[in-house]
Structure 1
Amino acid sequence: MVNVYIETKDAPELTPMLVFWPNYRFAFKEKAVFSPEIMASYTTPFFTIVPGLEAADFIAVPYHYFDVLDYAPKYLAYVYALGKTTQKKVLLFDYTDYVEREIHVPSHAILFRVSAYRHHKKENEIIMPYFVEDIGRNYSFEQKPKGEKPTVGYCGQSRFGGTTRKWKAGVKWLLSLFLLYLRLDVKPHVHMRGIFWRRRALQVLSKSKSIVSRIIERDFYSLYRAIPFDAKTIRREYVENLRENVLALSVRGDANASQRFYEALSAGRIPLFLDTDCVLPLEEIIDYSRIILRVPAQEVDAISRRVTVWHALVSEGDVLQAGREAREVYERYLRLEKFFSIVFDREKSPYKKLLFR
């Protein structure tokens, strides 16, 4: 296990991020409905916290990067200086939706984050998976056969919950797009919020007579306790929607990543992945083309055609094999304890030059 030193002098009173929950066992925010159940399977720490720098492989900042940047910049600057003085690399973590904010970290710091835009990603950023429920294990999923027609499922937020909210979101996006053009961003349209992409993809899929679309649209995010319905019932509908379909539509949220993507893999389902210039975890060693159907965001209007062409080309055996491999990839690479064990393997890590040299 990797040894990390955490500076306690003038440390901010912030809640640590989930990667350090096995170390600190802090209380979850009340609105995070399923976090206790998800984290219950992660009882062994990913890092050993050591009391002194001599025994440390790295210096770690156990809080969300943007929280420290905003509320404790002096502490962050001190840790950077400490790392430079002791020639220890600094580990940072970003588990937020703040993918639109610019990252400025020194060369001896490595930022683990759940999402980035490929055209913005820096060399010292490593994409990590989300913590998600292991649906395949918890709900005893069986493999789903190909079927006569392709089946696509979606269950989640794709409505604004009112005309005013929709109008405000549209205006905000137009202003953001204008600023992206001013900054000469090379792929401005992929920055659009996930709800817009989901709505467009669902509109196209629902019109196709060649596809069986099982769609449950909501105007709320079901992982928050503030929802006006029974959380367990809502979750059961979500799980059954995954169970019933071969393909699971997986589109970014406010971050440029999809939690549903990982849940689908855990369930042995094939993500129908709308790629908004995303970077996937460990893509240097995982052949995602074997277990997902990727559709570039600029081709969203052709998503139904991409599904029907795929369905015509694959055999029953191909679909079953993809489902088995999806589950295997989740278990071997994308559960967080497996992810970190690979990343910090001094011999086999695809990031060994970044981390250890």
Structure 2
Amino acid sequence: MKLYYPKSHYSKAHRGLLFPLLKPFIKGSGFTDEQRLVSYGVSEEDFEFTEVLEEADVVILTMTWNYYVKTKQEALAIAFVKECAALKIKVIGFNAGDFGVRIPYFKNLIVLRPSGYKSKFTENEYALPAFIADPLKKYFASDTIFERPYQSRAVIGFCGQANDARLNAVKEVLNTFLRNLKNTIGRSKNQSQQLLSTSFLRASVLKTLQKSEVVATNFIVRKKYRAGVTQNKETHKTTFEFYENLKDSDYVVCVRGAGNFSVRFYEAMAMGRIPIFINTDCALPLDNQIDWKKQVVWVEYKERDQVGLKVKQFHDSLSKEDFIDLQIENRKLWEERLTLSGFFKTIFNDQ
């Protein structure tokens, strides 16, 4: 599988809007493959790139579509996609951010995105995982999960932002309304969002679980994102508390944030934990290959007041051996298909 990307599209000033797979490969001349493996978990041997467009099996659009919109270069991206269509070559693009932008439909364009609403996806849109550093290696110097023994009452963990204040909920909904209004009147290409206070939703799910008599809870609730920490976040004690909370829990509450996806979902999988997935019309990666309802506790948004019972039913259906196996399976699934290297190897094999 030969990959091509238009180098002329790259903007160093907007490196944060670079297609995820290209970040390990567009580096300074002194950057070694060993450094690439350590920093990104990807080797130059994992993917083959060509300098000739016509030789490519798949083409990567160098920057996110958000970049082309932001820099008023959308015509450049459109022209390139059409050029590839004439050569009968598929292009893979990236719609980044919490909200995503509107992208014209092209038959040969595959769009990957972390956010969005599954019911509104076009036939060429697919979910992209949130790529994270391996927390076991980074925070516990380990390659293997901390296996949780089966207990009759499941322990549910959560460490993060939740706020049940009505005034805060009103502010969040108002901010969403104003963003949507800009989209409606043509002043923004950010896609519209559901009018929903996500911090209030998260708080309500946690309260429901705390009141439940059929599960045990292990919650650290913060009023601000990352407890308000803005500097040295990766080494701050709150980050260690977050991963300790995951380590010491069986299941982990995963509710969408500002965007309609949860980074915590992938952090839980990487730690070998079982997400409690509150489905707000989300898209999960590789759902044509992975039966997610076997890997997570799946709770529809309209059933969120039954979340404790859903966890109990899922937990009771597992034997002691099944419970351990599922923890190991989730970690393996993350390693093989939800990491940067694993995910792109999987989708390129499907092309």
Match of 1:319 among 311, 320, 323: 323
- Structure 2 vs 1, CA of residues 243 and 337 (structure 1 numbering), >3 Å: closer, same or farther? same
- Structure 2 vs 1, CA of residues 177 and 315 (structure 1 numbering), >3 Å: closer, same or farther? farther
- 1:335 matched to 2:339: yes
Question: Partner of 1:205 in structure 2?
Answer: 209
Question: Partner of 2:40 in structure 1?
Answer: 41
SS at match of 1:300: helix
Question: Partner of 1:24 in structure 2?
Answer: 26
Per the TM alignment, residue 7 of structure 1 is displaced from its structure 2 partner at its CA by: 5.1
- Structure 2 vs 1, CA of residues 9 and 250 (structure 1 numbering), >3 Å: closer, same or farther? closer
Per-residue CA distance 1:266-287 (angstroms, 9 max, x = gap): 1111111111112211121112
Q: Distance in 2 between matches of 1:229 and 1:69?
A: 30
Per-residue CA distance 1:121-173 (angstroms, 9 max, x = gap): 1111122211112223442331111223211000112138x876443213345
SS at match of 1:295: strand
- Structure 2 vs 1, CA of residues 191 and 324 (structure 1 numbering), >3 Å: closer, same or farther? farther
- Structure 2 vs 1, CA of residues 224 and 79 (structure 1 numbering), >3 Å: closer, same or farther? farther
Question: Partner of 1:265 in structure 2?
Answer: 269
Match of 1:167 among 153, 165, 170: 170
User: Any residues of structure 2 matched to 1:219-234 within 5 Å, and which?
Assistant: 219-222=223-226, 226=230, 231-234=235-238
Per the TM alignment, residue 174 of structure 1 is displaced from its structure 2 partner at its CA by: 6.4
Match of 1:276 among 280, 286, 289: 280
- Structure 2 vs 1, CA of residues 82 and 104 (structure 1 numbering), >3 Å: closer, same or farther? same
Q: Distance in 2 between matches of 1:12 and 1:52?
A: 22
- Structure 2 vs 1, CA of residues 294 and 56 (structure 1 numbering), >3 Å: closer, same or farther? same
Listed as ranges, the gaps of 5+ residues in structure 2 are 29-34, 184-191
SS at match of 1:98: coil
Per the TM alignment, residue 9 of structure 1 is displaced from its structure 2 partner at its CA by: 6.7
Report if aligned partners of 2:176, 2:193 keep a CA contact under 8 Å in 1. no
Report if aligned partners of 1:12, 1:75 keep a CA contact under 8 Å in 2. no
Q: Distance in 2 between matches of 1:287 and 1:120?
A: 21
- 1:132 matched to 2:132: yes
Question: Partner of 1:32 in structure 2?
Answer: none
- Structure 2 vs 1, CA of residues 12 and 313 (structure 1 numbering), >3 Å: closer, same or farther? closer
Question: Partner of 2:119 in structure 1?
Answer: 119
Q: Distance in 2 between matches of 1:107 and 1:135?
A: 38
- 1:245 matched to 2:244: no
Report if aligned partners of 1:194, 1:253 keep a CA contact under 8 Å in 2. yes
- Percent identity over the alignment is 25
Question: Partner of 1:155 in structure 2?
Answer: 159
**Which one-letter code corresponds to 2:156 in the other structure?**
V
SS at match of 1:22: coil
Q: Distance in 1 between matches of 2:95 and 2:37?
A: 19
- Cα-Cα RMSD: 3.3
- Structure 2 vs 1, CA of residues 215 and 10 (structure 1 numbering), >3 Å: closer, same or farther? closer
Question: Partner of 1:65 in structure 2?
Answer: 65
Per the TM alignment, residue 179 of structure 1 is displaced from its structure 2 partner at its CA by: 11
Per the TM alignment, residue 39 of structure 1 is displaced from its structure 2 partner at its CA by: 7.4
Per the TM alignment, residue 238 of structure 1 is displaced from its structure 2 partner at its CA by: 0.4
SS at match of 1:329: helix
Question: Partner of 1:97 in structure 2?
Answer: 98
User: Any residues of structure 2 matched to 1:167-206 within 5 Å, and which?
Assistant: 167-173=170-176, 192-206=196-210
Report if aligned partners of 2:92, 2:111 keep a CA contact under 8 Å in 1. yes
**Which one-letter code corresponds to 1:169 in the other structure?**
E
TM-score with structure 1 setting the length: 0.81
Report if aligned partners of 1:10, 1:75 keep a CA contact under 8 Å in 2. no
Per the TM alignment, residue 178 of structure 1 is displaced from its structure 2 partner at its CA by: 10
- 1:310 matched to 2:311: no
Listed as ranges, the gaps of 5+ residues in structure 1 are 27-35, 181-187, 353-357
Report if aligned partners of 1:190, 1:297 keep a CA contact under 8 Å in 2. no
Report if aligned partners of 1:272, 1:292 keep a CA contact under 8 Å in 2. yes
SS at match of 2:119: coil
